[in-house]
Amino acid sequence: MELNEDTIVARATALGSAGVAIVRLSGKDAVSIASSFLRIAGGKALDDVRPRYMATATILMDDDVLDHCLVVRFAAPRSFTGDDVVELHLHGNVVIVEHVINLATKSGARLATAGEFTRRSFLHGKLDLTQVEALGDLLAAESERAILVAQRQFAGELRRRLLSFREHLLHLLAMLELELDFVEEGYHFASPDTLTALLDELAQFVDTLLTSYQAGNRLRRGPRVLLLGKPNAGKSSLFNAFVGYARSLVSPVAGTTRDYIEEVVSHSGVAFHFIDTAGLRETSDDIEEQGVQLANALIPLSDHVCYLIDPISKEHVDEEIKAMHALSLEFPQSDFLPVLTKKDTDTATATATLLSDCLAISIYDRQSLQILMDRLVGGYTNALADAISLVSQRQYHILVALKQALTDVRLSVSQSTEFLSADLRVLLGPLSELTGETTNEDVLNHLFTSFCIGK
């Protein structure tokens, strides 16, 4: 993909009025274009301002003062994009920002397209595709845990590991190619033991990444937790307890909840999407029946299903546990958790002692609610602690292909050098595709257009 050398301009901060707004220019003419409407304090030229240091300046429009601002320049290649970059820190008035962008375009700049600043950073080798995708996740993260995962990826951990494997494989491939030149003499330059150890290490790394994808993907979009169970099992009461106010109607009359209600609740850095649903039962009420059907339809779309059980008797609990297990077999992609409600009642206490594998809660017992939340959070803090995880579906599909290529290479280790060499070349393809060293224009366009204009 060719690098466009136009100088681009865009607002780098969110739309709307604010205390400060930043306009960014990037390109070989960024300094001269900014200088056409900028006057640095003390009569300095912008070129003379030390890179990465702020200077006070005045922005002129038709010889009138438009704004007093701060300006900083970044000299290529030591900038985010790798180009010469100028950032103007303005007062955050929408009109001022629009006028400054217009001044830049009149002086030769072009409005940036979505993600074009990040695209230039990629093309200049400042970021690889794994870091670009991590940057997109960082900007969109809605929880502390999602930010930490994205930051770890953006720091380049995945890139370094992938490049290390790639370099070792390239070295071994070069040794194999050398063997082909001396095949008649019977020389061997590549150690089969070294290759096998490297392939085993790469296979373990790939398996770890693939395992992390599900938890990481849930974390980024916010895990969906479905509250399911019979009418009056305590779903709406628990939902309100998590939300912190009476969001859902609570009534002793069965069938109060018809439509589903969803709210985001953050706990230990994870943003959970809790969903209250209609009680599961057969009913002659058409509206309630639609609610029950909707509750069932939400099961495969949920990451966790808290199956709430009113412990009115041991027999009732046993029946509900069986019903929950039947649903878990029907929807294996969702994680089912049996939860005994109304822990504060005498019946619940007696029943809970017979069911040690069930979580018993009460909306009046904050500690029991804390235990339930910690149980949900644990699947993310434990799975992603100090781990490199995948951040995109693109990476996941490439890793699946890489795993298959690893299987093929392992089979050819004991075969001829020609077969092994060919399979190693195939294996190098997905590794290069992950970091973006080999990719196609459609993939890049899809990726960068998901960014905002000023990023």
Q: Each residue of 33-48: pLDDT tens digit?
A: 999 999 999 888 999 9
Query: Secondary structure of 283-295 in the HEC alphabet?
Result: CCCHHHHHHHHHH
Report the distance separating Cα 251 and Cα 60, nearest Å.
65
Percent of the chain with pLDDT over 90: 23
89-93, 135-139, 407-411, range with the lowest pLDDT: 135-139
In a domain, 74, yes or no: yes
Last residue of a domain, one of 111, 128, 145: 128
For residue 1, being part of any structural domain is answered with no
Average pLDDT, stretch 6-12? 93
Of the given ranges (69-83, 117-131, 154-168, 336-350), which has the lowest mean pLDDT? Answer: 336-350
Neighbour-count burial of 106, counting CB atoms closer than 10 A to its CB (0-12 exposed, 13-18 middle, 19+ buried): exposed
Give the model's pLDDT for residue 34.
94
Q: Which residues pair with 91 in a beta bridge?
A: 20
- Mean pLDDT, the chain, integer: 81
The pLDDT confidence band at residue 387, using thresholds 50, 70 and 90, is: low
Is 114:451 a contact under the CB 8 Å cutoff?
yes
* Tokens representing residue 16 in the block: 């709307």
Cα separation, 31 vs 45, whole angstroms: 10
Cα separation, 159 vs 150, in Å, equals: 13
pLDDT at 184 over 60: no
Q: Look at residue 138 in the predicted model and tell me its pLDDT.
A: 79
Same domain (yes/no): 355, 287: yes
Does 382 score more than 70 pLDDT?
no
Q: Which residues contact 32 (CB under 8 A, 6 or more apart)?
A: 107
User: What is the residue range of 195's domain?
Assistant: 133-218+390-436
CATH of the domain at 424: 1.20.120.430
Q: Calculate ∠ Cα 184-187-193, nearest 5°.
A: 135
- Most confident residue range from 78-92, 314-328, 426-440: 78-92
Contact 254, 232 (CB under 8 A): yes
pLDDT computed for residue 233 by the predictor: 81
- The domain that holds 101 is classified in CATH as 3.30.1360.120
Please check whether residues 205 and 311 belong to one and the same domain: no
Average pLDDT of 387-400? Answer: 78
Q: Are residues 333 and 261 in the same domain?
A: yes
The verdict on residue 82 lying in a domain is yes
Residue 89 lies in a domain: yes
pLDDT of residue 71: 95
What does DSSP assign to residue 36? T
* Domain end call among 360, 381, 404: 360
For residue 143, count other CB atoms closer than 10 A to its CB: 21
pLDDT at 2 over 60: no
Domain boundary among 82, 101, 128: 128
Please check whether residue 261 is in contact with residue 276, taking contact to mean a CB–CB distance below 8 angstroms.
yes
Instruction: Write the pLDDT tens digit of every residue in 97-107.
Output: 999 999 999 99
Instruction: Report pLDDT for 453.
Output: 58
User: The pTM is what?
Assistant: 0.64
Read off the CATH number of the domain in which 306 is found: 3.40.50.300
262 or 21: which leads in pLDDT: 21
Is there a single domain that holds both residue 266 and residue 138?
A: no
Longest Cα separation, the chain: 88
* CB within 8 Å of 426: residues ≥ 6 apart: 405, 408, 409
Q: Is it true that the peptide bond before 192 is cis, omega within 30 degrees of 0?
A: no
Cα separation of 35 and 227, whole Å? 60
Q: Examine the pLDDT at 197 and tell me if it is beyond 80.
A: yes
- At residue 53 the predicted structure's pLDDT band, cuts being 50, 70 and 90, is very high
CA distance 335 to 303: 6
**Model pLDDT, residue 450:** 60
Closest by CA position to 147, among listed 217, 220, 94, 256: 220
What phi and psi values does residue 377 have, to the nearest 5 degrees? Answer: -70, -35
Domain assignment present for 263: yes
Q: Please check whether residue 42 lies inside any domain of the structure.
A: yes
229 shares a domain with 211: no
Residue 250 lies in a domain: yes
Structure tokens, 161: 């590991």
- Sequence-separated (6 or more) residues with CB below 8 Å from residue 127: 118, 121, 135
What is the structure's pLDDT at 196?
84
Same domain assignment for residues 249 and 349: yes
339 — alpha (psi -120 to 50), left (phi > 0) or beta?
Answer: beta
Paired with 308 in beta bridges are: 229, 339
Residues 6+ positions from 100 with CB-CB distance below 8 Å: 23, 37, 59, 66, 67, 88, 90
Give φ, ψ of 170 to 5 degrees.
-65, -40
Between the CA of residue 102 and those of 27, 83, 390, what are the distances in Å?
A: 17, 21, 40
What pLDDT, on the 0 to 100 scale, is given for residue 282? 64
CA 120 distance to own-chain centroid: 22
> Mean pLDDT throughout 238-262?
67
Q: Residues 143, 254: one domain? A: no
Q: Supply the pLDDT for residue 248.
A: 63
Q: How many domains does the chain have?
A: 3
CA distance 149 to 135: 11
Same domain, 252 and 352: yes
Judgement on whether residues 340 and 294 belong to the same structural domain of the protein: yes
Least confident of 41-55, 177-191, 258-272, 373-387: 177-191
| Continuous H helices in 230-313 | 235-243, 286-298
Q: What angle do CA 128, 134, 138 make, to 5 degrees?
A: 140
- Cα-only R_g, the chain: 29
pLDDT at 251 over 60: no
pLDDT of residue 183: 53
Q: CA-to-CA distance for 221 and 236, rounded, in angstroms? A: 24
At residue 255, does pLDDT exceed 60? Answer: no
Name the pLDDT band for 241 (thresholds 50, 70, 90).
confident
Q: Are residues 247 and 204 located together in one domain of the fold?
A: no
Read off the pLDDT of each residue in 363-374 and give the average, rounded to a whole number.
88
Whole-number Å distance between alpha carbons of 69 and 58 = 6
Q: Residue 8 forms beta bridges with which residues? A: 26, 110
Count of Cβ atoms closer than 10 Å to residue 377 Cβ: 17
Tell me, yes or no, whether 110 lies in a domain.
yes
* Higher local confidence (pLDDT), 65 or 289: 65
Residue 447 pLDDT grade (very low, low, confident, very high; cuts 50, 70, 90): low
Contact between 88 and 103 under an 8 Å Cβ cutoff? The reply is no
Q: Do 57 and 28 lie in a common domain? A: yes
| 228 and 346 fall within a common domain | yes
Among 49-58, 287-296, 420-429, the range scoring the smallest mean pLDDT is 287-296
